Structure 1
């Protein structure tokens, strides 16, 4: 998916495959939930002043990637009203997070937060560093991006079903499943 800001900044995110080379735990049914469901996410970003960087890293689990599309749709819907509360979505791997806040009806600010392996190469890398890429977008553009994302994710079903409750990235709680 691609999300373009009014000021020329943009981010492209795309799953490009399952994470290769991960050895299963000694007992695949015994505990390491999600070891088999990490997706490599390709990132291509540009700041408003033209600085760019790209990389691919196992940033999201399949379930989280699918939930991200719903979260983006939810933020676009929230932008239809002017009084929506700011929202945040975080994932198991902490190198990517998204925040949103409604600026005015049908316009919102989406902040894509990069950290750890996802930081731009020009940044110093202390363990707490976060680079916020701020995008000002319309609700319609966010819906289009969410639909692109869902289409990308449809190619990557979970490889197996876990018997453990999955973490809901929208609430950061476990849910029965």
Structure 2
């Protein structure tokens, strides 16, 4: 999916495959402890043109579907329930925060952490977070949610042997 802000900042996030070298366990008893990880490619650019990218197995298949639902909720296309302000995942690389600016306008903050931090940060403390805030319309967020859902659907949870 790609989300562009009014000020020129943008973020592109897409699953590109399953975590290499890791497949479902052979023993069904191990299935409860196993997560199907997706390799996620992220490319971001700030409003002033600083850009970076990374490729990490940082979302499970279940988390990828949850992100689609969260985005739809903030876009107003997931029903009447109000979504949580923040969605976080098992790995700290990415988190999303949203707030309403005014009718049908949102501030969507993508929080980068761990291996997803921009390389130009002078110091990287253990819990460092780099927030990239995007001002977007609910319609643009709905389109991004649909795009993310299509991309995530290409990588369903694999069956345990």
Aligned residues: 156
Q: What do the CA deviations read for 1:38-94 (whole angstroms, capped 9, x no partner)?
A: 00000000001100001110010001101111110100118xxxxx78710000111
RMSD: 2.2
Q: 1:29 to 1:112 in 2, by over 3 A?
A: same
Q: 1:133 to 1:56 in 2, by over 3 A?
A: same
TM-score (norm 1): 0.81
Per mean C-alpha deviation after superposition, the further-off stretch among 19-28 and 47-56 is 19-28
Per mean C-alpha deviation after superposition, the further-off stretch among 117-126 and 134-143 is 117-126
Aligned to 1:47: 46
Shift of residue 160, structure 1, vs aligned partner: 2.1
Q: C-alpha distance in 2, partners of 1:126/1:142?
A: 31
TM-score (norm 2): 0.89
Q: What do the CA deviations read for 1:89-141 (whole angstroms, capped 9, x no partner)?
A: 00011111000000000000000000000000011211110000000000000
Higher helix share: 2
Q: Relative contact order: is structure 1 or structure 2 higher (C-alpha 8 Å, sep ≥ 6)?
A: 2
Aligned to 2:6: 6
Unmatched segments (≥5 aa) in structure 2: none
Aligned to 2:151: 152
> Any residues of structure 2 matched to 1:106-145 within 5 Å, and which?
106-123=104-121, 124-145=123-144
Q: 1:44 to 1:27 in 2, by over 3 A?
A: same
Unmatched segments (≥5 aa) in structure 1: 79-83, 162-177
Aligned to 2:72: 73
